[in-house]
């Protein structure tokens, strides 16, 4: 393998499939990464010829073109955590996913324990980072059930923007989807994924979100392929759309090996008892 121009350490680790750039930055800050025998620090740059250890285990460094780009859609039920392991033993989303050999699933964004719906996972750390980065302005759409008397002024405030404790926030679109009282449903669109941002925007107006479900990420809609607690492999066309949104060249999805096909089939058909959230009816809407 020939060396290339040096890159930030966390970027190379994320591309190798060990987690998102943010997760790798945390690992570096915690002293878990060594480069050529020395403990790494944030800001270090490396090339493919450098020797890297993560938790004292060798890391197989790869160039951009060597990273397989697989993506799956997962329909997260309430009660699951978006973390690999939980000290309290609660169920995590990663327990549901198909197993990979020599790869790791990287979550494209997160949902809190009480939020259900669409999660995307990929083996390509660069794709994940770009789709999450605020500069790419990727839309996230949520179905929201709100408790309280929602007035027009509340909606106007949230669209024009309000100041939260971590900075200004706003919805780019709010549409009512029926119901009344404690069962009033809305669909909202937001351009970033800060912690509990959708809930906090409604709370800023004195309103409470009682149910929250993500139904769209960019051009990818949650559909019937994946019921609550199940995953579905994305098509080449869908992955190409995600790549284009992220400003990356499309790449052919690698064929599963016979062993991977068998394992994925077994994983997909495991019985997974979950309680699915009732989805509000969605009227047709012209696409711009």
Among 3, 55, 86, 112, the active-site one is 112
Q: Which residue has the tokens 């107006």?
A: 205
Token output for 189: 């669109």
CA 240 to each of CA 65, 68, 75, 124: distance values in angstroms, whole numbers, following the listed order: 15, 13, 21, 13
Respond yes or no: is residue 44 known to be catalytic.
no
CA torsion, ordered 88, 93, 99, 102, to nearest 10 deg: -80
Provide φ and ψ at 261, rounded to 5°. -60, -45
Contact 118, 73 (CB under 8 A): yes
Residue 242 CA to residue 227 CA, distance in Å, equals 22
Specify the DSSP element, H or E, that contains 259.
helix 258-268
Specify the DSSP element, H or E, that contains 158.
helix 152-160
Residue (of 214, 219, 23, 216) closest to 111 by Cα position:
214
Residue (of 68, 66, 60) closest to 13 by Cα position:
60
Three-state DSSP state, 160: helix
Report the DSSP beta bridge partners of residue 217.
140, 220
List alpha helices for 169-235, DSSP H: 197-203
Residue (of 219, 133, 142) closest to 173 by Cα position:
142
Question: Which residues are known to be catalytic?
Answer: 112
């Amino acid at each position: 393998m020939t060396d290339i121009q040096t890159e930030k350490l966390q970027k190379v680790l994320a591309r190798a499939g060990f987690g998102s750039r943010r997760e790798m930055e945390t690992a570096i800050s915690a002293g878990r990464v060594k480069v050529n025998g020395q403990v790494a620090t944030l800001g270090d740059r490396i090339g493919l010829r450098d020797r890297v250890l993560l938790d004292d285990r060798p890391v197989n460094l790869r160039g951009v073109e060597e990273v397989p780009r697989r993506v799956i859609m997962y329909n997260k039920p309430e009660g699951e955590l978006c973390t690999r392991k939980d000290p309290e033993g609660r169920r995590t989303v990663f327990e549901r996913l198909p197993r990979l050999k020599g790869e790791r699933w990287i979550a494209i964004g997160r949902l809190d324990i009480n939020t259900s719906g669409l999660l995307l996972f990929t083996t390509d750390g660069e794709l994940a980072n770009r789709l999450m980065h605020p500069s790419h302005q990727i839309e996230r759409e949520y179905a929201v059930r709100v408790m309280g008397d929602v007035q027009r002024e509340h909606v106007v405030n949230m669209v024009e923007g309000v100041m939260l404790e971590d900075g200004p926030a706003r919805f780019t679109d709010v549409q009512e989807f029926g119901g009344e009282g404690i069962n009033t449903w809305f669909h909202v669109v937001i351009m970033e994924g800060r912690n509990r941002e959708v809930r906090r925007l409604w709370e800023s107006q004195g309103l409470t979100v009682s149910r929250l479900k993500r139904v769209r990420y960019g051009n990818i809609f949650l559909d019937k392929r994946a019921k609550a607690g199940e995953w579905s492999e994305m098509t080449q066309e869908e992955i190409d759309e995600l790549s284009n949104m992220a400003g990356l060249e499309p790449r052919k999805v690698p064929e599963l090996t016979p062993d991977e096909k068998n394992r994925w089939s077994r994983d997909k058909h495991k019985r997974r008892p979950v309680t699915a959230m009732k989805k509000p009816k969605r009227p047709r809407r012209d696409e711009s």
